[in-house]
Amino acid sequence: MNDLLEFTQKLIHVSTVICIVAISVSLLLLLIRVIIGPSNADRAVALDGIGINLMGIAALISIIIVTTKLNDVVLLIGILLFIGTLAIAKYLEKGVIIDRDMD
């Protein structure tokens, strides 16, 4: 029984490290898209993907250091990412972010 628990813990640790490495590779590829992206919309979409990958990394790190305090951080990154992407999209579309009168 004890051996099984130890094996499970080791399995979780190894798979989490593999996932962190995979997400890091994904972040590097997204960074290339941010740098050489031909248009600004490409950069906006790549930044969105970077934010989602950061959420994943925060969750995986909270598995490595065994804690639940990072759950708020994951939600916070998601919310700020949504608002930031919305602001970029609105600026690219209309030129203003908060407009005076919409109708």
Partner 1 sequence: MYKPNDLILRTTTSVIAFILLGFAVYLLLAGHNSPGGGFVGGLMTASAIVLMYMSYGMEAVKKILPINFRTLIPIGLLIAVSTGIGSFVFNVPFLSHTFGHFTLPILGEVELATAMLFDMGVYVTVLGVTMTIILTIANDR
Binding site for partner 1 (CB under 8 A): 69, 72-73, 75-76, 79-80, 82-83, 86-87, 90, 93-94, 96-103
Burial level of 30, CB count in 10 A (0-12/13-18/19+)? Answer: buried
Instruction: Quote the tokens at residue 92.
Output: 């690219």
Rounded Cα–Cα distance for residues 49 and 31 (Å): 10
Which residue's CB is nearer to partner 1, number 30 or number 45? 45
Closest distance to partner 1 from the beta carbon of 62 (Å): 12
Which residue's CB is nearer to partner 1, number 33 or number 90? 90
